[in-house]
């Protein structure tokens, strides 16, 4: 079974630009979560999608948005990029259930390394 | 305020010894706690999950304990090997809303 695939692996942008990152979950997984990882803040939750609906959102500004398609693939978008947005962005998928549950392992991709110049 | 702490940023142990990593939390009441391994440049990999009503869980050389009174989880790797060198992250469910990750402990197993 193929794992979680994130594209692109590396991205360089300049301040003020916008970026779209893509995530293909494991086949059959309906929940997709996005995280930002930086050396100073660690792994921080951005948002979670289930059946094309955003179910939960972390404490990030509105410049960070996402969506999920009917095939469970997900994209996240960051607009008006700032230097502080440089990070590793990780996507994780899980089977997902109608009610949010913490008892399911999350399967992570290897991330997109975003660098802002 | 809510907080998750892992005992130390880095831990060095000798090959063959048991590594013990600690995860402490404040102002959370997780029903589940998970442990992940992360290698440089890679995403975290799920290792073990333990429920609040379980005291201990084992998988091969790995053992996790969960003490909801102490608000602490211990993660043990027995007979450690250099291949066990990685960063280990604990994660707890935040009232079923999302997962909150600890800062991680970088384990180095020296031959």
Note the pLDDT of residue B76: 98
Note the pLDDT of residue A104: 86
Smallest Cα distance from A105 to chain B, Å: 6
Q: Are A29 and A36 in contact (CB under 8 A)?
A: no
Q: Are B86 and B39 in contact (CB under 8 A)?
A: yes
Note the pLDDT of residue A30: 92
Collect all residues of chain B within an 8 Å Cβ-Cβ radius of residue A107. 46
Note the pLDDT of residue A100: 60
What average pLDDT is seen over chain B? 94
Note the pLDDT of residue A98: 63
Collect all residues of chain A within an 8 Å Cβ-Cβ radius of residue B43. 4, 90, 92, 108-111
Distances (CA, A) of A115 to A66, A85, B103: 19, 8, 21
What average pLDDT is seen over chain A? 93
B interface with A, Cβ–Cβ < 8 A, is 30-32, 34, 36, 41-46, 49, 51, 89, 91-94, 96-104
Q: Which two tokens stand for residue A69?
A: 């398609």
Strands of the B72-77 sheet, one edge to the other: B3-6, B19-26, B72-77, B62-67, B56-59
Pairs across A and B, CB distance < 8 A: 59
Decide the pairing of beta strands B19-26 and B32-38.
unpaired
């Amino acid at each position: 079974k193929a794992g979680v695939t994130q594209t692109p692996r590396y991205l360089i942008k300049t301040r003020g630009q916008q970026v779209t990152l893509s995530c293909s979950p494991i086949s059959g997984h309906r929940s997709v979560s996005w995280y930002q990882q930086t050396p100073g803040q660690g792994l921080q939750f951005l948002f979670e999608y289930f059946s094309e609906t955003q179910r939960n959102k972390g404490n990030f500004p509105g410049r960070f948005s996402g969506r999920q398609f009917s095939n469970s693939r997900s994209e996240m978008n960051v607009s008006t990029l700032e230097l502080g947005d440089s990070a590793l962005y990780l996507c994780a998928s899980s089977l997902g259930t109608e009610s949010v549950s913490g008892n399911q392992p999350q399967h992570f991709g290897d991330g997109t390394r975003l660098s802002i110049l | 305020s809510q907080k998750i702490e892992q005992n130390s940023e880095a831990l060095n142990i000798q090959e063959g010894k048991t590594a013990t990593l600690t995860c402490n939390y404040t102002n959370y009441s997780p029903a589940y706690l998970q442990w992940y391994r992360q290698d440089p440049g890679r995403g975290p990999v799920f290792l073990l999950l333990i429920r609040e009503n379980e005291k201990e869980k084992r998988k091969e050389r790995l053992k996790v304990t969960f003490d909801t009174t102490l608000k602490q989880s211990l993660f043990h790797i027995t007979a450690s090997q250099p291949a066990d060198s990685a960063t280990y992250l604990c994660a707890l469910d935040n009232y079923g809303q999302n997962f909150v990750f600890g800062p991680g402990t970088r384990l180095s197993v020296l031959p």
